[in-house]
Amino acid sequence: MSQPDQLQELLQRVAALEAREQALTAASNAYQAIITTMLGNLDKTDRDRIIAMIDQAHEIAYARAIQRSNEPQKQKIKRADDVAQRMFMFAQGKTSQPR
């Protein structure tokens, strides 16, 4: 395969990855909006109970990742927790604050 052919193939792969990233971002934003809206429409007791259960699940998963010295998993959980906390704050009518 010649260099121009390799370059063309590489450019096609980059374009495919960029399209996939855009699709995943759109899907993530949609799910966040749906979950935030659903939580925001629950009564306070149910919403707080669901948020507490999700927080507990994140803490358990994070502790397991630490115990297993699984740094990639630990980072994924931290990022997911950051997103979840922003959604919870919004659903509760609070402004987003760093944890």
For 51-90, the pLDDT digits (tens) are 999 999 999 999 999 999 999 999 999 999 998 998 899 8
Does a structural domain hold residue 20? yes
Cβ-Cβ contacts under 8 Å for 85 (sequence gap 6 or more): 96, 99
pLDDT value at residue 99: 45
- In a domain, residue 98? The reply is no
DSSP code for 92: T
State residue 90's pLDDT score.
Answer: 87
Inter-CA distances, 88 with 5, 38, 40, 62, 65, Å: 49, 11, 9, 19, 23
Residue 48 lies in a domain: yes
Average pLDDT of 34-55?
93
Name the residue range of residue 69's domain.
3-92
Do 66 and 78 meet the contact criterion of CB atoms below 8 Å apart?
no
- Does the global pTM surpass 0.85? no
The total of structural domains in the chain comes to 1
Residue 97 domain flag: no
Does residue 69 form part of some domain? Answer: yes
- Centre a 10 Å sphere on the Cβ of residue 77 and count the other Cβ atoms it contains: 21
Domain contains 45: yes
Is 55 a domain residue? yes
> Is 99 inside any structural domain?
no
